Amino acid sequence: GYHFQPEEVLCVYTFAKSTVVPAGHVSSSTQADGEKQYKVAPRLGVCSVSHFTVIHWHCHQSATRAAANLRPKPQGEWESATVRNS
C-alpha cells in the first residue's frame, strides 16, 4: 500500500460497463397522412459500483507478466486478477 511504498504510483480498478439508460430522447415526425409518429431514441450511460481495488502499477505489471508466463496454461490479465482478488 501507500505506507510501504509512498513513491510508487497507485492505480485503481473499478467495475464499469456501458448500458442503456431508461430515459431516452423523444422525437416526433409527421407522416404523409398527417399523423404524428413518436420515436424514443435510447441513451447510453455507464453503470458503475462504489467498490474498487488499489494496486501499485509496478506490482500490477509484475503480476501480469507472471500470469502470462504460467505453464502449462497462461492466464490473461483479467482472468489472473479474478483469481488473485477472489
Would you give per-residue pLDDT tens digits along the chain (86 residues)? 668 788 888 888 888 888 887 766 667 777 778 788 777 777 788 888 888 888 888 888 888 888 888 878 888 877 887 777 66
83 grid coordinates: 483469481
pLDDT of residue 86: 67
pLDDT of residue 25: 64
Neighbours of 84 (CB within 10 A): 12
User: Model pTM?
Assistant: 0.51
Contact 36, 28 (CB under 8 A): yes
CA angle (33 as vertex; 30, 39 as ends), nearest 5:
35
pLDDT of residue 65: 87
